[in-house]
Structure 1
């Protein structure tokens, strides 16, 4: 029975993506099918062997060392503002963007990132049927994060049409940053974090290929835009450091506004109907949780956790899940856990549009206009990943 429910759930996810497609006649079904098969293969390997988990864990450890280096600079300036053992989002998450931006600038200046863009993009584009830039962006989003990744392609932003911008932003919202994977692993099992990262990479391509199908002409698949004047190393470094700081400030401002608005909506719902907005979403979302493979007697609670992530962020939902109040079965725990490992939530609309706006005001406004469709697609990626895991475990 679980396989029948899971297969039905798989078709429902794809149908929901198809219903929102901007060009149903030009959907490339062959790459979609290939990537779904790859999701099942990688999901099975990662949930039943130690090899993949070991690899991702070591990559995460490497980025953990980079964050420690970033912390040295942040603590030098802001150290006295933070209490011991206290987590501050602005200090711990946003300000390290400045250091990551500087590293990206160095890698760009030394032609290392363009090399990665060319060859990683070439390999993945053969599988997903998209452009090399889209393929690079999806991998870079996992490594660099949903805000920082746009710094790495900031020279190309002005030249990208709206449909390609959607795919880039969808990839960024569908993944998570390697810099915070360690924090996730403290709240949910590492194997679920690793599995979600890999499956979301392909899931982002699958959903975007259906919702936003297009063909990139070879002459339009620009991987590197030549600068009008050649910059010295320190000119470049100063530019990227300031770009990183600008992105951090704008993302912080967007977060304040979006999180406050969500809190207000929760308050209004509680006042009018007696339950919060996210609890209401839990009831609405429960049929989808059931189709992902969650037993019906756990579907409403599981959907409530998922809805918490949707209206706030994955950290809040993971802390709720790890509190031990739900007593979920192993299957439900696996499904909910992988669903939570992405940036698909309302506040990410502000984060991504703010990050792009900090680099290119015109493109930032474009992203803001398709923000809800972006969230819709990224949420379907999480649902697809959870459904695949529900069929595997």
Structure 2
């Protein structure tokens, strides 16, 4: 039965991707097959082997430890405002640690640890998938650095890209999440699903691009690894550290503002719909998205709740949906929990389309016009990538 739902989930992704494909005759089946096989290997090792489970547990424990270290700075600044154990203040306990994690990312970037990992992991991915040096490098970069910062790592190349290559890197940016927010996610959903989804999403975005946006990278279009990782002017250490800390704080405040607005809006809509139609807005969304959840392998008893969470993420953001899931988790089956937890780990929502368009515009006005033209296809592709990731994770539950 699990394999039947793996097939239906894949058929859903491929069918929708085929309908909106820019070149149906040249869909890259071989590249897709290689990357899908790699996803099966990764997910099997992560979720179905003792060693993989222990590694994921260690990673989750490490991020939990980082959250504890972040509490030192939070306690110093906010003092008695920090709620005692057993209660929670979302902004302090979940969002504020992003500042500390961002500082660590800055340090690792400054001492060339992250550039080394990105460079050679991207090289290995390109050797396996043959997606192109730029696409492979960027897919790994965005899973570590996040956006909009990740676009700055390829700012010299963006003006030179054709629309198809530009689509692929933007889809990767929407399908991945930054290392700075992983600890925050792990406060809301199980860490093993967060880490597994990060790995799978890198490949899911590229697989969907092979359907929606197929192309070949010729020798004349190829960008060498040395060009992508060339030395940049090095700023003083404490200036870099300060910049990353401020970026982390701005991110935390931005997420908090969006949560206040979106959660209040959803609450308003739920109250209004319940008063007028005797059914909440989120329940209506749940029924609309429930067929998709069913085809992904979500048990029938969970499809309405999971469908509602899928819609909430698309219309608001992943933090809002994860907050709702945190409250609902005990009511869902283990399989339903696994699929929706993995699905939510990405930036695929309407607001991020604007962020990406703005990021590209700051680098190239001309290219931002191209992004604006395919923005809805970009959101659809990133959502399909999340569906693919959730479907694969569901295979093991």
Q: TM-score range by the shorter chain?
A: 0.7 to 0.9
Deviates more, 1:92-101 or 1:32-41: 92-101
Q: Indicate the SS of the match to 1:184.
A: helix
Partner of 1:45: 45
Note if contact 2:9-2:391 (Cα within 8 Å) is conserved in structure 1: yes
How far is the alpha carbon of 1:267 from its aligned partner?
5.6
Note if contact 2:168-2:209 (Cα within 8 Å) is conserved in structure 1: yes
How far is the alpha carbon of 1:313 from its aligned partner?
1.6
How far is the alpha carbon of 1:51 from its aligned partner?
3.1
- Counterpart Cα distance in 2 of 1:100 and 1:22: 37
Partner of 2:312: 308
- Counterpart Cα distance in 2 of 1:218 and 1:240: 38
Segments of 5+ residues of structure 1 without an aligned counterpart are none
Deviates more, 1:204-213 or 1:249-258: 249-258
**RMSD of aligned Cα (Å):** 4.1
Q: Indicate the SS of the match to 2:290.
A: helix
Partner of 2:339: 335
- Counterpart Cα distance in 1 of 2:329 and 2:60: 29
- Counterpart Cα distance in 1 of 2:16 and 2:175: 16
- Counterpart Cα distance in 2 of 1:51 and 1:28: 33
How far is the alpha carbon of 1:280 from its aligned partner?
3.0
User: What does the per-residue CA deviation read over 1:89-110, in whole Å, with 9 as the maximum and x for residues that have no partner?
Assistant: 98665897688568647749xx
Note if contact 2:209-2:381 (Cα within 8 Å) is conserved in structure 1: yes
User: What does the per-residue CA deviation read over 1:197-247, in whole Å, with 9 as the maximum and x for residues that have no partner?
Assistant: 2221221111111111111122322245599xx975348997998799799
- Counterpart Cα distance in 1 of 2:175 and 2:166: 14
**Superposed, which structure 2 residues align to 1:55-70 within 5 Å?**
55=55
The equivalent position to 1:295 in structure 2, one of 277, 290, 299, is: 299
Partner of 1:20: 20
How far is the alpha carbon of 1:188 from its aligned partner?
1.9
* TM-score, structure 2 as length reference: 0.78
Note if contact 1:144-1:178 (Cα within 8 Å) is conserved in structure 2: yes
How far is the alpha carbon of 1:156 from its aligned partner?
2.2
Note if contact 1:192-1:338 (Cα within 8 Å) is conserved in structure 2: yes
Q: Indicate the SS of the match to 1:205.
A: helix
1:197 aligns with 2:176: no
Q: 1:270 to 1:26 in 2, by over 3 A?
A: farther
How far is the alpha carbon of 1:48 from its aligned partner?
1.7
Note if contact 1:162-1:366 (Cα within 8 Å) is conserved in structure 2: yes
Partner of 1:321: 325
Partner of 2:207: 206
**Superposed, which structure 2 residues align to 1:108-127 within 5 Å?**
113=115, 119-127=120-128
Q: Indicate the SS of the match to 2:346.
A: coil
1:35 aligns with 2:35: yes
- Counterpart Cα distance in 1 of 2:61 and 2:220: 39
- Counterpart Cα distance in 1 of 2:161 and 2:79: 41
- Counterpart Cα distance in 2 of 1:27 and 1:277: 38
Q: Indicate the SS of the match to 1:323.
A: helix
How far is the alpha carbon of 1:55 from its aligned partner?
4.4
- Counterpart Cα distance in 2 of 1:271 and 1:119: 53
**Superposed, which structure 2 residues align to 1:254-269 within 5 Å?**
none
- Counterpart Cα distance in 2 of 1:64 and 1:326: 21
How far is the alpha carbon of 1:364 from its aligned partner?
3.8
How far is the alpha carbon of 1:353 from its aligned partner?
2.4
* TM-score, structure 1 as length reference: 0.79
Note if contact 2:348-2:383 (Cα within 8 Å) is conserved in structure 1: yes
- Counterpart Cα distance in 2 of 1:208 and 1:31: 10
Note if contact 2:270-2:282 (Cα within 8 Å) is conserved in structure 1: no
How far is the alpha carbon of 1:170 from its aligned partner?
0.9
Note if contact 2:56-2:192 (Cα within 8 Å) is conserved in structure 1: no
How far is the alpha carbon of 1:321 from its aligned partner?
1.4
Q: 1:327 to 1:2 in 2, by over 3 A?
A: same
Note if contact 1:60-1:178 (Cα within 8 Å) is conserved in structure 2: no
How far is the alpha carbon of 1:147 from its aligned partner?
2.5
User: What does the per-residue CA deviation read over 1:270-297, in whole Å, with 9 as the maximum and x for residues that have no partner?
Assistant: 7577456544332111011111111223
1:367 aligns with 2:367: no
Partner of 2:185: 184
Deviates more, 1:129-138 or 1:178-187: 178-187
Number of matched pairs = 386
User: What does the per-residue CA deviation read over 1:333-384, in whole Å, with 9 as the maximum and x for residues that have no partner?
Assistant: 1111111111112222123223333444443443333222111111111111
- Counterpart Cα distance in 2 of 1:333 and 1:370: 32
Q: 1:65 to 1:295 in 2, by over 3 A?
A: closer
Deviates more, 1:251-260 or 1:159-168: 251-260
